[in-house]
Amino acid sequence: MSEEQTVRNPRGLLISLCAVMMMSVMNGTMFNIAVPDIAKTYQLMPSEVSWVMTGYIMVYAVGALTYGKLADYYPYRTLITFGLTVFAVGSLFGFFSQNYAMVLMARVIQALGGAMIPALVFLAPIRYFPNERGKVLGIVSSVMAFASGIGPIAGGFIAGFLDWRYLFLTSALIIVTLPFLRKNLPQEEAKKGYIDYVGAGLIGGFISTLLLAITLGVTWLFAVSTLFFALNLWRMKAIDEPFIPPHLFKDVKYTATIVTSFLGVVCLFGMMFMLPIMFRDAYQMDTMTIGLILFPGAVSAALMGQKGGNLVDSKGNTFVLYLALTLLITGFTVLSTLVGAHPYVLSAAIIISYMSFPLVQASSADILANLLHKNETGVGMGVFNLLNFVSGALSGAVIGKALDLYDPFQPINVLGFNGNTAIYSNVFLVFAVIIAVGLIQFRLNYNKTRKPAAQEEPASL
């Protein structure tokens, strides 16, 4: 009997996965809007209130990798029950918070539980929908992209008409998906296996200090992060079963896919981070208007997701990845040219890049699923999710610094508009170049001869 047949209600499971993913992503993007309100409530400096997002992303990134590893050994029902319960507890704690320290603690608790969601949502299609994996990954990715777009709108509405604390209460509603997930997930037994918790701690230290160094701009933290990285490399060679098997990165196809996906998501998250700033500063728009301008892009991502998933199944995952990267290069080049035009024109132009989001995610995840050994799917996809969240922090920090320090009047793109939008035109042009580099490196490395599968499996298996 195939794993797909063990799911009682595949449609119900898919709906439940999409619902939990939707609420999880919205939780992150809604709080972006609430940061100024939180700062005003507790009279905080920008560097202090930034921990609302920095602390969440830091714990979330490490947790996504950890849950991916645990998924190789523990039943999904157990992990998802633990994760959603912890997330809901953190949300309620935040709603009743009395000071800023309690708010930060609530966000950390949220991240400890919520990090389970992307790890398992991207693994479930691989395990339970093998015959429609591309389609399901496309749907999940489209939900992720759509939630990223409407999150700021929902956050602005809730914080504006009620209070920012109600964002926590809204997030707590995610617990209603748990009974449906438990009902539709099959009963599984835990597997025996060794988990390198020391290695996990070293990886956590590396990622945490790296994200802190990037977001806070503290130089000495880069040195600490480098030390953790060196210790992790030593640990990976010193024991037989390290937390992340080093042979994963010896597979040229796996590494090429991870790098290409990382570059694509860096630019996509960078676009999502920069667009609200651009419309606020260069077009003097309020939060609600910005959300409405971005809404068509979010809808296009949702509509493209299922179509892209079907293309993965029918045309192949590499075909869809090449298509997505080509669309991204085109979309960013168009935006570089049109920044400074009427907002409605930009709203239409944004669609090209937004619709590529689920295509990049679905095709990359499907490629990785084909490359990974079945006993390492969790940790292999965990690295994929980890890099997604690191890319968000990296792009936001770098773009923020660029906007602070660089203010040209004339863009590099000779077809672009002069004036206060020139910096945004240049950033979009850089995005197009980054995507082109990713496409070239993928084409060169993915077509290299791969070692036989028998040589790739770890000896312990």
The more confidently predicted of residues 378 and 459 is 378
Among 358, 339, 342, 340, which residue's Cα sits nearest to residue 298? 358
User: pLDDT band for position 391 (50/70/90)?
Assistant: confident
Residue 211, pLDDT above cutoff 70: yes
Its pTM surpasses 0.85: no
Report percent pLDDT > 90 for the chain. 13
Inter-axis angle of helices 133-161 and 356-371, nearest 10: 140
CA atoms within 13 A on the CB side of 32: 22
Rounded CA-CA distance 406/210 in Å is 24
Rounded CA-CA distance 66/57 in Å is 14
Report percent pLDDT > 70 for the chain. 92
The more confidently predicted of residues 107 and 391 is 107
User: pLDDT band for position 58 (50/70/90)?
Assistant: confident
- Chain CA centroid to CA 171, Å: 18
Residue 302 pLDDT = 75
The more confidently predicted of residues 102 and 162 is 102
